[in-house]
Structure 1
Amino acid sequence: MKKYKNILWLMILAVITTSISGCTKTTGVGGLTNVQNTEKVDDTQLSITVEGDKYPLTVKDFLKKETILKEKPEKIAVLSGTPLNIWYDLGGKSVCTSDVSDNVKLIPEYREEIRNLPTIGPVYSIDMESVIPHKPDLIIAQVGTQSTQAKKLREMGFNVITTHIRGYDDVVSTYKAFGKILEKEELAETKIKELEKQKKEIVSKLPDESKSVVILYITSKTLAVKLDNSIAGDVAKILRLKNIASDLPPDTIGSETTPLDIEYIVEKNPDYVLVTSMISSNEEAIKSIEEEFNTNPVWSGVKAVQEGRVIHLPQEYFLYNAGPYYNEAIEYMAKNIYPEIYEEVNK
């Protein structure tokens, strides 16, 4: 009997562990919750690396999956806007892609071509049956929103690599990897040098005294706080801004958000409140956060809110990684925090 009790206990423990690791609830605006899928990822790992000077190449992606490319792929399906932008910037082409939001900042010379690509559904819910007929030699998917489909496509025999592009270093490693795959390494290095030069020019003008920020993240159902491993958090770090949430635990392993705690924000008294969003448009995001500030009296304790030091970060830079335009995101934040140095942003 004792043996059976032990087995039963292990079964219950396994169910509990699976439930905890599979999802989490984050309390947000109006007490609503958002269930988030999680993945155990190592944020210290590069987004993607490629081993080998020439074909065959071994690609190691963010999820530590290895793909051996015996020869240069001819038909590639890039399933997400951010890697697609970098891919095209290096002269690559795609046979299809997911629905591209109007807020994704596309490379002008390829904008129409990308907009006219066969679509396979929303980025967070791609239709695999629409990908298969294209018979791609290589599929480039996005970690998180497309990991499940990427796994299934890999099991079907396709070459699949997943990219994870949250910050500046991810952009650089993706350029390097794509440069090797496309046999455009010199062009990739040129692009990286341009990015690095622009970033250094911005950072060189920073004052010695740093400022503190909190980065709010608003969706149609939730309000949370962004950590350093988000796009906005990464840009803030580049600008030597102190993110007051840096030391707080994430919602789940690998998450870029932590639950909202207004009392903690009041206590830390940040110099600026930065607002990122995942709502239908930048305009709707501004309306939503202003309504939250006006209707929730707790925000009266946050001086930055009461004194108008609230900066709305546009989705084309801070929801979707701008890839080739990442330095524009850095410049946008810098101009808002230090207008006397970088000149005011045109609003």
Structure 2
Amino acid sequence: MKKAYFGLVFIAILFLSACSGAPESAEKETPSEAKAEKAVLTIHDMAGRTVTFDTLPKRIITLTNSDMNIVYALGGKVVGRQTQDASGVEPDEAKNATEVGNTHDLNLEKIAALAPDVIVASSEQNLKDVPALEAIGAKVILTGANSVDEIKTQTEVLGKLLSAEAKAKELNQMLTEKEEAIQTAQAGKSVRALMILGAPGSNYAALPTSLSGDTLRIAGGINVAENLKGVENFPQYAALNIEKIVAEDPEVIFLMIHGGDEKETEAAFRKEMEQNDAWNSTTAVKNGHVMVLPADLFGTNPGVRIDEALDYMTQKLNQVAK
């Protein structure tokens, strides 16, 4: 009898242990599940990365002017920004933010001193810098745009970061309407154009896959460099092949200056053209249609000011088409 009693007690203990252990196992969270549950904000950036925030970010550093002006257009502000270059600072309010270098030359000491919650950087140039930036205790969001549509995506990403999705949608709708209006007005027009990105010691032809090339397309231009091959580390731009370019005979040549002294770069390029019979044989040079585009709208991503770039490009192409 005692043996039977103790057997029943043993079985009951096993049963209770099994029942009490089941919920503990079922409720146990994996580290990723716990992190996702704790996050108040999740951002999928333009480098394909997923970034989570435990608290909403307040102190923002932007390493490009495009990200900076989009942040302000969305109602936000930055504590740190790119060191001023030829493209200037837009809007004026951002001039009070601390300069922290640029995408090629970060000042990690200044960045750390600002104690940022998030650093918005270039997907093409700063991916390698993410570990160093995260090491100072900040989250990193990577953006970038090689087309007008990608500027819209950039605006959406920053809109979510700032909890300003409605404003981002409004800005993108306005940009879409601008595109459609220009394309309607420019229908049937075609101007053969060459866009050159000029920098100290080097010149490249902008391809249709570049942001400036996309701006040219929307405004009604035909890119004479379309069939050139992009360079390995700069695929949206191609080395200048004067023979092929002359064969396409551009009606206008646009020079976009990036970095260095603008006047010095322009003078060097014009001198090269004057001394080269091939350049002098093009319709663009014969008619004096060699134009320098403003640095704050071309050569680098102008952010929300892309609407101004589209208007400017349309105006210049129409001057040539007369």
Q: TM-score range by the shorter chain?
A: 0.7 to 0.9
Q: Percent of pairs identical after alignment?
A: 24
Q: Distance in 2 between matches of 1:324 and 1:305?
A: 32
- Between stretches 155-164 and 228-237, larger displacement belongs to 155-164
The answer to whether the 8 A contact 1:125-1:145 is kept is no
- The 5-angstrom pairing of residues 123-272 of structure 1 reads 123-154=103-134, 157-252=137-232, 255-272=235-252
TM-score (structure 2 length as normaliser): 0.80
Q: What CA distance in whole angstroms lies between the structure 2 residues aligned with 1:102 and 1:115?
A: 14
Q: Quote the offset at 1:306 in angstroms.
A: 2.1
**TM-score scaled by length of structure 1:** 0.75
- Give distance in 2, aligned partners of 1:270 and 1:236: 13
CA displacement at 1:275 relative to structure 2: 1.5
1:101 maps onto 2:85 in alignment = yes
Q: Which has the larger radius of gyration?
A: 2
Q: Specify the SS of the correspondent of 1:256.
A: strand
Between the aligned partners of 2:273 and 2:202, the Cα distance in structure 1 is: 14
Q: List alignment gaps of at least 5 residues for structure 1.
A: 1-51
For 1:195 and 1:158, locate their aligned partners in 2 and report how far apart those are by CA, in whole Å: 32
Q: Distance in 2 between matches of 1:123 and 1:153?
A: 12
Q: Give the equivalent residue in structure 1 for 2:57.
A: 73
Q: RMSD across aligned C-alpha pairs, in angstroms? A: 2.4
Which structure is higher in RCO with an 8 Å CA cutoff and minimum separation 6?
1
1:333 to 2:313 alignment: yes
Aligned to 1:10: none
Distance 2:58 2:289 in 1: 50
- Classify 1:86/1:201 alpha carbon distance in 2 versus 1 (closer, same or farther; 3 Å): same
Partner in structure 2 of residue 321 of structure 1: 301
Unpaired stretches in structure 2, ≥5 consecutive residues:
1-35
Over 3 Å counting, the alpha-carbon distance change for 1:90 and 1:80 in structure 2 is same
How many residues in Structure 1 have an aligned counterpart in Structure 2?
285
Distance, in Å, in 2 between the alignment partners of 1:306 and 1:71 is 60
Contact kept, 8 Å, 1:316 with 1:322, in 2: the verdict is yes
Please give the residue correspondences for 1:40-55 in structure 2 after superposition, counting only pairs within 5 Å.
none
SS in 2 for 1:144: coil
Hey, what does 1:6 align to over in structure 2? Answer: none
Contact 1:218 1:276 in 2 (8 A): yes
Structure 1, residues 185-236: CA drift from partner, whole Å, max 9, x if none? 2222222222222222222211414222221222110122111222321101
Map Cα deviations across residues 154-193 of structure 1 (whole Å, 9 max, x no partner). 3555311111133311221122121122111222222222
